[in-house]
Amino acid sequence: MPGESHVVPSVYLRHAGYREKIKLNHKNISHKGAKGHPAYKVIIMKTYLPALRRKMIKPCFLIVDTDLRWATNISLRLEDKFNVLVALNGKEAISRFSAQPASMVLLDLNDFSDMSGLEVLTQIRGKSNTAKILIVTSKSTHELAINCANFNVAGFLTKPIDPHILIERINKIAGIGDPELLKILWGSEYEKRVNALSRTVKKAVDFIHWNFQSDFSRDELSDHINVSPDYLSRLFHQECGLRLKDYITKLRICKSKELLAMYPDMKLKEIAVSVGFSDVNYFSRFFKKHTGLTCNEFRRNLPT
């Protein structure tokens, strides 16, 4: 009947390995003819894709552990900030990381059924110099520290571990809660300033710290927080004293300096990609503009 509202059948869409199920309502579209209706694609674009984009721009987090219950518990605590993948053995971990390189890996270094934990670590590090790898294990951390000295792991935690402590550690590794970085970004009274932020701006800051490696836009950031771009820009500048663009620039410069200092043999192209630049020449100009030094000059001036 004219004016009657029909429920369009559940629609499944796949995008970069993710599947979402949604139900859409639209007047005068029959169940049978929904997909052929000219408004169908418009409904998909307006209703579905903004939510999908918010999900897709989250960084990837890989949990490698044989304990599915524990891995699921941790993944549920991380899903607001990450697209979380879980691997229960070594081959699955390597396959998942190869298909979608994770910005952070939580790896149980105990031996798996198909390969040793140390072998998994070796192969993951061989595929990425910049992925942050946090080790959890029931073995002696002293013994592991010797074995992993050349793999640039972000830290060790011994099981059993309180999930809240683990999440705090993950935040610190990402730079959220790192006193030295926060002092550079926010000044000596960083604790007071960060604690005074509104919930909206805190979400924006968290998103920026997790995603500075990606070339995201202001619209994507505001979509993720579910506010308008102009409102977010005004509120961020009001509370932080910096424009959004300037804060992101400051963070990327800090991270660039950190990589240049920590990895003297790391290629500039790899560093550029690690801080959100696909063009190494543009990154080099960007770095010199904001520091007054070329990347090589910065490295030469580091204390020996």
pLDDT value at residue 25: 40
- Strand order of the β-sheet with 132-137 is 83-87, 60-64, 104-108, 132-137, 155-158
Give residue 32's pLDDT band: very low, low, confident or very high (50, 70, 90). very low
Token pair belonging to 100: 């979608």
pLDDT value at residue 7: 34
Whether residues 139 and 214 share a domain: the answer is no
Q: Which residues of 140-151 are buried (b: 16+ CB within 10 A; e: fewer)?
A: eeeebeeebeee
Give residue 289's pLDDT band: very low, low, confident or very high (50, 70, 90). very high
Give residue 281's pLDDT band: very low, low, confident or very high (50, 70, 90). very high
Last residue of a domain, one of 153, 173, 193: 173
Number of domains in the chain: 3
Mean pLDDT of the 108-117 span? 85
Whether residues 202 and 297 share a domain: the answer is yes
Whether residues 218 and 165 share a domain: the answer is no
Whether residues 155 and 186 share a domain: the answer is no
Pick from 9-23, 98-112, 170-184 the range whose average pLDDT is largest: 98-112
Whether residues 118 and 197 share a domain: the answer is no
Cβ contact 112:120 at 8 Å = yes
Whether residues 201 and 251 share a domain: the answer is yes
Entry pTM = 0.56
E strand or H helix at 75: helix 68-78
The type of residue at 238 is Q
Give residue 178's pLDDT band: very low, low, confident or very high (50, 70, 90). low
Whether residues 234 and 145 share a domain: the answer is no
Token pair belonging to 186: 């926010």
Closest CA to 291 of 261, 259, 256: 256
Last residue of a domain, one of 173, 207, 222: 173
pLDDT over 90 for what percent of the chain?
20
Which domain does 127 fall in, by range?
60-173
Inform me whether the pLDDT recorded for 23 exceeds 90.
Answer: no
CATH label of the domain that carries residue 70: 3.40.50.2300
Last residue of a domain, one of 155, 173, 191: 173
Pick from 63-77, 172-186, 208-222 the range whose average pLDDT is largest: 63-77
